Amino acid sequence: MSATPLEDLIAMLNSQGQSAYFGESVSILEHSLQTAHCAELAGAGPALVAAALLHDLGHILHGLGEDVAGFGQDGMHEELAADYLSRWFGEEVTAPIRLHVAAKRYLCARSPGYLDALSTPSRLSLQLQGGPMSEAEAEAFLSNQFASAAIQLRHWDDEAKIVGLTIPNAAHYLSVLRAAASSLPPTT
């Protein structure tokens, strides 16, 4: 019996998420699990918990290495993940993922103290991502119906860098992914 696509996503996180997360002290897998855990603790629905779990899948997919920002490139990991996941999930999942870097640029422009609280690697990648939004960019961002979801995801993302936290594993989220999936082929 072959694994379902959602089981494959969990397996991909488990097997390929072990690499370091951009100079942070946690792996991409640990970071993803902690982000999803924050979303669950906040009472988010399946779509946003799924987005939290999978928001950095692009770092696994892009194949540019684990420290792409450190090499002075922007891997556009948010677009890569959102496009890849759109075959199984609707915009409730993919749009917050697509916007989670924009949300960081928005918060840097509009939320006092946010930029100063970013980790050093996150400040480095900010420059590659365009820096803080202009006023016009911030207004345009806010007009997106998924802006507030993306801002929520961003805050969980920023919190999810704690070394040695004991939290649920990736398989815990399989039922969440199933609930969030909108266009899976029927399973037999």
* Distance in Å, CB of 114 to Fe ion, minimum: 15
Residue-by-residue DSSP string for 75-114: --HHHHHHHHHTTTB-HHHHHHHHTHHHHHHHHHHHSTTH
Check residue 66 and report its DSSP letter. T
Q: Name which of 47 and 77 has its Cβ closer to Fe ion.
A: 77
Length of the chain equals 188
Residue nearest to Fe ion (CB): 157
Q: Name which of 40 and 56 has its Cβ closer to Fe ion.
A: 56
Q: Name which of 30 and 56 has its Cβ closer to Fe ion.
A: 56
* Distance in Å, CB of 55 to Fe ion, minimum: 6
Residue reference for tokens 């918060």: 107
CA dihedral of 34, 8, 15, 93, whole degrees rounded to 10: -30
* Distance in Å, CB of 178 to Fe ion, minimum: 23
* Distance in Å, CB of 157 to Fe ion, minimum: 4
Cβ atoms 48, 155 nearer than 8 A: no
Q: Name which of 4 and 79 has its Cβ closer to Fe ion.
A: 79
Q: Name which of 3 and 117 has its Cβ closer to Fe ion.
A: 117
Q: Which residues bind Fe ion (CB under 5 A)?
A: 56, 157
CA dihedral of 90, 93, 95, 98, whole degrees rounded to 10: -120
* Distance in Å, CB of 156 to Fe ion, minimum: 9
Contacting residues for 39 by C-beta, under 8 A, at least 6 apart: 48, 49, 51, 52, 53, 152, 153, 156
